[in-house]
A and B are shown apart, each in its own frame.
Chain A
Amino acid sequence: MTRTGDEQLVRWARLREQMRSAKFLRWAGGLIGIGLLLQVATLFWSHPLAFVLFLVIGAGPVGLGILLFLAFLVQVPVEPVTSTDSSD
């Protein structure tokens, strides 16, 4: 196998890893977003059930989303920063 072929394989592997990470991020974002919207909906209702809903259908997805995000942080490949900031 040529050197170009090796590089291509590495690039594909990295791309696949990035896509997998992006999927984690999408799921995490979706869960956190939905959870937060449900939380905000319960804030305007002064009723015992509102607090239960806040905790179960609001905080639950947010907690799950945060766990997924932490998993994403562990998996995400380290890439060089492409910032144009001179301090980098």
Chain B
Amino acid sequence: MPPTSPSALYLFLHGLWQRFGLPESVWLVLWAVIVAAVILAFVLLTVLILVWVERKVAADIQSRLGPARVGTRFGLLQTAADAFKLLLKEDIIPACADKPLFVVAPFVVFVPAFLAYLVIPFGDRLIAQDLDLGVLYVVAVSALPALGFLMAGWGSNNKYSVIGGMRAVAQLMTYEIPLGLALLAVVVSVGSLSTVDIVEHQRRVWHIASPPLLIAFIVYFICALAEVNRIPFDLPEAEAELVAGYHTEYSGMRWAIFFMGEYGYLFFVCAFGVTLFLGGWHGPFLPPVLWFLIKTYALILVSMWIRWTFPRLRIDQIMRFGWKVLVPVALVNLVWAGFWFVR
């Protein structure tokens, strides 16, 4: 499907295609493949960068050096080297595992993270697909990884994995609800589900400046941390309790795909938070894409800061917090937002 408001690059390439008189149907497929490839490349690159950033941030907080050997004294190539190593590792599938589930699970976790990038406006008209139902699409897609966690937990035929998988599902389902309610507050104020419209609405003032949406942002960010399974919500893979939770039995590249899903999703939830609450790509002087990345990385750094500072909650505390605190707060806030924006 061609973009509704095509960018200059699209028009140029499409014009070139038409000049050679090539069929339009092939162009549509080709364009979709190009977009998918670009997003995939972006996700993979982002994951490499994020892992490096996380290591450096963690090292800094913990007063150590972090990667400092491979690729200059800042260890810039460390994650690339690690990825290469993981590629070469033996592919181990436990003898008693449910093989199809075990093999497919990492992709069920990774693909939704990748799909979610479709509706993020990185800059002016720099969006893969401006869907009318962008926000709804994100909610739908972000519910999918739970299935992958459960498949991995069950398929591994390992008790720790099962518990990890069950925890992941319980946690994701719980936090999906306040997350959706927080998103609805934004939708109420904008009157559209399209991410492009939402960013456009913040041309002059960021959403976070209005009180109901500030609360919505806080709820969103907490839920986002829970969705990406990071401390204090890293219950599904709580090392001290469950060894590694649902990916206990995974190694090599399959494990790396889980990892990529996790970090890809981390970038996504922060980018989506920026889109909804922090003005998207709007900002003075600097180019839009740069503004977008700066804001997103700022949010990511906050999540890393939290991860390396806080202890881990217990499963019942997490559920209680989700149902008894976040859901009511998000609900009341939604009602309040309704009054606030209708006035």
- The answer to whether A binds B is no
